[in-house]
């Protein structure tokens, strides 16, 4: 016998088929008694009454005041959404249990009773799954070295939820990562949720560390033959954490003052309306420009980002270099950081 198709039903959020049938019937009335619904359904009133009691406990129906047992349906959008949230919470608890069971499984497979410090992962799918898994597991802090190529889409739907839950998220990007179309907008979006982002040229590797307890370290940047190490608490993990902190000290803030780097439209050959005269301290436009320069992005990419012509952008850059007594981007970034511009 074929199994019934549960798609489009409320069974997925814990409502039995019979109870859903009673609920759908009640939706066709402003209010009704168990007996009235029973007659319409051709079922005993007491059986319908028990279903209504269960539906009430699930927040789908409400009992009206009065001596007679009369019920009315709760507005479905709000009621079902509450059930979905409750079921999601339950599933997250199951996910946590699965992680614990997985750790026990791998410990037994390795036969060491504790779980090995290093596990080899093969293939981009395994790498992608573990990166998502680390993000779901993290409770306090996520450390990420970010550079192309990418196994998953660059937009990260998990990170905002982690940030909202109080996780501190620090990301170090390479300039190449910011050249990917839409990347800078994504960094700004995540900064709005609380990500702390910095940029460091010539970043040689990718890395993700969750709660300083587990790290995902790709061994290759070739997605076709990608291999990675899953590193648990060990001296190797401690070394990777120290390496991240060294990179963090060397990297420059990507979003000045925690604000998105934005610029307005600009005429390519007209007067430089956004080129402010030198004054006491930088304005926001200067902070944004020096941050983008320090990021390693090309002149053309920065000009596009700020809505300027390349010529105007370079004129503003020369003025900034003069003000900072710098002869190149790196020096400008260092001087700007020392002055508290970044």
The tens digit of pLDDT for each residue in 59-80 reads 888 888 878 889 998 888 878 8
Query: What pLDDT shows up at residue 238?
Result: 92
Quick one: 32 and 122 in the same domain? no
Cα–Cα distance measured from residue 159 to residue 8, given in angstroms and rounded to the nearest whole number? 30
152 touches 130 (CB < 8 A): no
pLDDT in tens, 238-291: 999 999 999 998 887 776 544 333 333 333 333 343 433 334 556 777 777 877
The larger pLDDT score, comparing residue 25 to residue 104, is at: 25
Q: Are residues 227 and 289 in the same domain?
A: no
Residues 216 and 140 in one domain: yes
Neighbours of 167 (CB within 10 A): 19
175-179, long-range: CB within 8 Å, 24+ apart, which pairs? 175/199, 175/201, 175/295, 175/296, 175/297, 176/147, 176/148, 177/146, 177/147, 177/148, 178/254, 178/295, 178/296, 178/297, 178/301, 179/297, 179/298, 179/301
Higher pLDDT, 97 or 67: 67
Q: Is the pTM of this model over 0.75?
A: no
At 186-224, the pLDDT tens digits run: 888 888 899 999 888 888 889 999 999 999 999 887 777
Do 150 and 199 fall into the same domain? yes
Considering the domain architecture, whether residues 319 and 205 belong to the same structural domain is answered as no
Tell me what the pLDDT averaged over the chain comes to: 78
Domain of residue 262: give its range.
255-342
Same domain, 280 and 338: yes
- Domain tally for the chain? 3
On whether both 238 and 268 belong to a single domain, the answer is no
Residue 110 has pLDDT above 60, yes or no: no
Domain assignment of residue 317, yes or no: yes
Please state, for a pLDDT cut of 70, what percent of the chain lies above it: 77
Q: In the prediction, which pLDDT does 245 show?
A: 93
Between 36 and 9, the higher pLDDT residue: 36
Residue 101 lies in a domain: no
Residue 40 has pLDDT above 80, yes or no: yes
The CATH number assigned to the domain holding 53 equals: 1.10.10.10
> Are 27 and 130 members of one domain?
no
HSE-up (13 A, CA, CB side) for residue 268: 4
């Amino acid at each position: 016998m074929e199994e019934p198709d549960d798609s489009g039903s409320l069974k997925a959020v814990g409502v039995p088929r019979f109870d859903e049938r009673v609920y759908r019937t009640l939706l066709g009335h402003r209010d009704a008694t168990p007996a009235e619904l029973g007659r319409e359904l051709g079922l005993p009133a007491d059986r319908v009454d028990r279903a209504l009691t269960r539906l009430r406990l699930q927040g789908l129906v409400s009992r009206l005041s009065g001596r007679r047992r009369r019920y009315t349906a709760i507005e479905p959008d709000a009621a079902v959404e509450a059930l979905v949230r409750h079921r999601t919470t339950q599933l997250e608890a199951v996910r946590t249990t699965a992680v614990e069971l997985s750790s026990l499984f791998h410990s037994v497979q390795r036969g060491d009773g504790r779980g090995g410090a290093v596990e080899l992962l093969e293939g981009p799918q395994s790498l992608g799954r573990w990166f998502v898994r680390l993000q779901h597991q993290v409770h306090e802090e996520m450390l990420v070295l970010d550079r192309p190529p990418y196994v998953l889409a660059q937009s990260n739907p998990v990170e905002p939820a982690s940030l909202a839950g109080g996780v501190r998220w620090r990301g170090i990007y390479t300039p190449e990562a910011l050249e990917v179309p839409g990347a800078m907008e994504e960094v700004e979006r995540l900064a709005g949720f609380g990500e702390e982002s910095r940029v460091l040229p010539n970043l040689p590797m990718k890395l993700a560390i969750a709660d300083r307890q587990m790290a995902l370290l790709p061994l290759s940047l070739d997605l076709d033959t990608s291999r990675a190490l899953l590193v648990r608490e060990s001296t190797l993990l401690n070394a990777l954490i120290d390496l991240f902190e060294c990179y963090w000290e060397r990297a420059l803030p990507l979003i000045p003052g925690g604000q998105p780097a934005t610029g307005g439209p600009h005429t390519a050959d007209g007067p430089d309306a956004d080129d402010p005269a030198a004054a006491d301290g930088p304005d926001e436009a200067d902070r944004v420009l020096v941050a983008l320069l320090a990021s390693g992005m090309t002149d053309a990419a920065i000009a596009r980002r700020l809505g300027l012509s390349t010529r105007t952008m370079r004129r503003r850059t020369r003025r900034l270099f003069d003000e900072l007594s710098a002869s190149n981007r790196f020096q400008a970034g260092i001087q700007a950081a020392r002055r508290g511009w970044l």
